[in-house]
Amino acid sequence: GYNTNTKSSISTGRLANIQSQSETDRLLEAQRVVIYTLQKKDCFQRQENSKLRKENDNLKDQLRQLEIRCVKVERQSKKDGEFILVQEKEMAFIKSQLMKKDDSIKG
């Protein structure tokens, strides 16, 4: 006696195997897509970070340049201030001399 039940259960088993295999393949493929996408995102993020770091460095350099310029301007301003004080003292002295002469002329 040939048992057809056994045969059909074997083929059903094989079919189930094939289905689970293709399901596994689909999951693996989905996983690969996710990993690939994440890697691309990561790569893009790193490029963005690198770009931002460069911009940041440029801005820091510009800030340093401005700070240096500020110090120079402050020094120059201090010198100018001191120069103006000296000029004002000289002018005051000259005015006082002129006033003395005026007084002596009037007197």
Alpha helices in the chain, H assignment, sequence order: 4-106
pLDDT of 24: 87
pLDDT of 21: 79
What tokens does 65 get? 């340049």
* In the predicted structure, residue 9 carries a pLDDT above the cut 70: no
Arithmetic mean of pLDDT, 40-45: 95
How far apart, in whole angstroms, are the C-alpha atoms of residue 16 and residue 4?
18
0.75 surpassed by pTM: no
* In the predicted structure, residue 18 carries a pLDDT above the cut 90: no
Per-residue confidence band for 68, with pLDDT thresholds at 50, 70 and 90: very high
**Residue where the block lists tokens 């120059």:** 76
